[in-house]
Amino acid sequence: MTTTAPDLADLSRRLEALTDRVELTELCDRFVRHLDQDRHSDHWLDSVFITDTHLTFPMGEFKGREGQVAFLETARKNFERTHHLSSNYDIRLDGDSARVTAHLVAVHLRRSAEPNSHFSIGGHYEAEAVRTADGWRLRTLAFDLVWNAGDPPAGGKV
């Protein structure tokens, strides 16, 4: 079997699309992993977000680096530990930008010593990612809450 130049060009495009999808999936997984494992540090923000990211959650909107830090602070002050699961990625590539829709389930513990005092949520998020010199990064992320159960944070804001 001989391979023609158009076949190689098509294979190259398909390989690039697969690579982009893997990198975008890893970006979303990295985001939720850092939320849980690096919750007391902001060092990871550059590995997930561009500087002027816009985050939208039921408890508010967070813009830019200051907003990213404020979002993390909200979680830090309300919960001692968290456990996020992200899945079912639908990725739409468009050159150096992409739309990612995914499901998210999270368990939030006020105090580790009291695991029954948890607050759980489920929903989905839609994100826009852009390719940067350092790889894919999130430009926007909007979370749509579908359900919640348990003891909500003080003030009742989810």
Query: What was the pLDDT predicted at 33?
Result: 98
Helix or strand (DSSP H, E) at 124: strand 118-132
pLDDT in tens, the chain (158 residues): 566 767 888 999 999 999 999 999 999 999 999 999 998 899 999 999 999 999 999 999 999 999 999 999 998 998 999 999 999 999 999 999 999 999 999 999 988 777 778 899 999 999 999 999 999 999 999 999 999 999 887 765 65
DSSP letters of 39-54? TT--TTGGGTEEEEEE
In the chain, the domains with their CATH numbers are 5-156 (3.10.450.50)
Query: What was the pLDDT predicted at 157?
Result: 61
Query: What was the pLDDT predicted at 117?
Result: 82
Query: What was the pLDDT predicted at 1?
Result: 58
CA distance 51 to 137: 10
Query: What was the pLDDT predicted at 114?
Result: 77
